[in-house]
Amino acid sequence: MTAQRVARITERLESALNPLVLEVEDESHLHAGHAGARDGKGHFRVTIVSREFDGLSPIKRHRLVFDAIGDMMNTDIHALAIDARTPDA
């Protein structure tokens, strides 16, 4: 299940944001026993570098990531740490 979630997150981000760099890490094991982990949802960390972020504030970059991930935030993801940068940053 975990590998499938990482693959789905990766696929959605690649499709929507055409990243130059993309790393998706499952950190769910670090949160065992946490309330969010008990419901079966995961904890993930995303590092993404994309030209789509040029000229955007960090909040707007995060919104693009959340928009790309879509319904997975309700069904599969409890927590998402995001490092969203431009190639020039």
Domains (range + CATH), the chain? 2-85 (3.30.300.90)
What pLDDT was estimated at residue 25? Answer: 96
Averaged over successive runs of 10 residues, the pLDDT of the chain (89 residues) comes to 90 98 90 60 94 98 98 92 94
Cα maximum dimension of the chain: 40
What pLDDT was estimated at residue 30? Answer: 72
What pLDDT was estimated at residue 1? Answer: 62
What pLDDT was estimated at residue 36? Answer: 53
Specify whether the CB–CB gap between 45 and 31 falls below 8 A. no
